[in-house]
Amino acid sequence: MNIHSIFIHIVELPTIRPHKLSMHTITKQTIVVAQINDTEGLTGWSEVATIGGASYGEATPEAIKVNCETYITPHLIGKNPQQFNLLMYEISKTVSGNYFARALIEGALIDLAAKQRNIPAYDLLGGKTHDSLPVAWTLASGDTGKDIEEAKELLLQKKHRIFKLKIGVGDAMENVEHVLKIKKEVGDGARLTVDVNQAWDETTANYAIARLQDGGVSMIEQPLPKWNFEGMSRLTERFSVPIMADEGANSIHEIFQIAKHRSGNSIALKVCKAGGLQATKTAAGIAEAAGLGLYGGTMIESSLGTAVGLHVYSTIPHLEFGTELFGPLLFKDTITANNIEYSNFEVVVPDGPGFGMIIDEEKLDHYKRS
């Protein structure tokens, strides 16, 4: 049951509406899918997603694919996927950085190893502590009235009661007033958070966060550029509203520095940023030891990548800020035959062998780049 072949696919899925960030607007999301086949006919699947090519970070889809195929997968042919921990350690000694690529390969190894044992992937990660997790939804129409109407409808349907607004594009104070009007309308029945995606300088952040804090916003995500750890420390010390590090919290080494210098008092976990599921658990342990709050973040993955995140997040006992794994709800279509379930304000952890997702290979072929 050793590894027989490995394929890396770049896939592009259309979204139901534009999804605006400070550096890019998503109308078609690019994901990278790994397929690892064993000699007995079983297949492990995994996914990482990126945002806007090189506008978000250095890990472009094209770089992930070529680095996997050139520097990682040749080490794996003929190896036993049950030794995924050893295999990833050996890869780490020869492949520097490339966290997205390493996360992609490790995920497919874990999916395959779990399928070979006919167990869920979370059982290889210590076992789940949650059957489902709170899930946020991003309000992104840009129209205050429409966002209020959408939030109230989702509350009524018991789909979401955590709402995020991306406010890194445009006039900062106009965006703040937009957020406060929504908060006033939804009241205490929902929690509102904002994501600045690194767009503010420290002066703007001081004015804007003061208003947001007074207005009842419950968390401010990455207000300053990712390199400005000292500025993040000053904001964290000044305000009582939680300041979350996202783009600045990548490797476990960066998370240690954030914890040491209090450059934020909460962390957005992401499997691809950490370099894999095991590194995500290590990151969570560092944050927990330092008293930092945790959030199960997303890179807007499809159903497959969302399942990967759910399997590792389900093993972390304390996720104070819930998750943001709404990705499947943003896509017009999916590459899996089964869907992620959303119920009673939460996203359900899929069971079944591996990550619990069945790949629709016809859909995969339809949406992948030639």
Count of CB atoms situated within 10 Å of the CB of 137: 21
Where in the chain are all domains bearing CATH 3.30.390.10?
3-121+359-367
What confidence score (pLDDT) does residue 21 get? 62
Contact 248, 263 (CB under 8 A): yes
Mean pLDDT of 96-125: 97
- Distance in angstroms (rounded) separating the CA atoms of residues 334 and 337: 8
Confidence at residue 59, expressed as pLDDT on a 0 to 100 scale = 84
What's the whole-number average pLDDT of the chain? 94
Which tokens in the block code for residue 145? 């009235």
pLDDT of residue 118: 98
**26-35, 168-177, 238-247, 303-312: least confidently modelled range:** 26-35
Q: Which two tokens stand for residue 284?
A: 């969570």
Q: pTM to 2 decimals?
A: 0.94
Of 20, 65, 164, 166, the active-site residue reads 166
Report whether pLDDT(295) > 90.
Answer: yes
Q: What is the pLDDT of residues 3-50, one digit of tens each?
A: 999 999 999 999 887 766 655 677 788 999 999 999 999 999 999 998
Q: What is the pLDDT of residue 276?
A: 97
| Interval 203-220 mean pLDDT | 97
Span(s) in the chain for CATH 3.20.20.120: 125-348
CB-based contacts of 138-146 (< 8 A; 24+ apart in sequence): 138/19, 138/163, 138/164, 138/165, 138/166, 138/324, 138/326, 139/163, 139/164, 139/165, 139/182, 140/17, 140/18, 140/19, 140/20, 140/165, 140/166, 141/17, 142/20, 144/178, 144/181, 144/182
Q: Which residue has the higher pLDDT, 53 or 231?
A: 231
What does the pLDDT look like over 121-142, one tens digit per residue? 999 999 999 999 999 999 988 8
Active site residue 166: yes
Give the pair of three-digit tokens for residue 334: 């999916």
- C-beta of residue 333 within 8 angstroms of C-beta of residue 13: yes
- pLDDT of the residue at 239: 98
d(CA 123, CA 75): 26
Residue 308 binned pLDDT confidence (cut-offs 50, 70, 90) = very high
- Mean pLDDT along residues 317-338: 95
CATH of region 125-348, choose from 3.40.50.720, 3.40.430.10, 3.20.20.120, 1.25.40.20? 3.20.20.120
- CA 111 – CA 122 distance, rounded (Å): 10
The tens digit of pLDDT for each residue in 78-87 reads 999 999 999 9
Section 198-222 average pLDDT: 97
Look at 94-108, 134-148, 257-271, 313-327 and tell me which has the smallest mean pLDDT.
134-148
Specify the pLDDT at position 370.
Answer: 81
Secondary element (H or E) of residue 244: strand 243-245
* Residue among 37, 48, 47, 49 at smallest CA distance from 115: 37
Q: Is the CATH number of domain 3-121+359-367 3.30.390.10?
A: yes
Q: Are 30 and 63 in contact (CB under 8 A)?
A: no
